[in-house]
Amino acid sequence: MLVNINPLLTGELLKRLDEMGHSDHLVIADANFPAHRIDPHALEFPGVDIVAMTRAVCEVFPLDADNPPVLMDSGAAEAPPVHTELIQATGSTERTLVDRWAYYDLAASASLIISTGELRLWANVVLYKGIPYSRP
């Protein structure tokens, strides 16, 4: 048993995160997202909300400083509240919005898709892997 590892981070998830390289990206998706159509090897976390999963992933996953988290643009005048929660969970202050169809194209090139049980709409985030140490 490991200690000080968030229990949402299963062995398979940790392995897949570890195998990713600098600037590879992952998608953490809501229950409405077509995760298995896009990636038959998507990892399922039913019953887990997206904010908790995003926070857990970001505990061990260094974010790329040159690529802020990407959110799916709802097209609404005001961003859905879940967007604010997701950005807070990443610890980032920046974000990029991408329209739905471009978001699906971006997801198709992801190294990993994590499908959650989140039921809110527009609750998806793309994260780019950074380097886990500072450069000399």
Report the alpha-carbon distance of residue 1 to residue 61 in Å, rounded.
20
Report the alpha-carbon distance of residue 69 to residue 50 in Å, rounded.
14
22 is catalytic: yes
DSSP single-letter state for residue 22 = T
**Backbone dihedral region of 91: left (phi > 0), alpha (psi from -120 to 50 degrees) or beta?**
left
Q: Which residues are catalytic?
A: 22
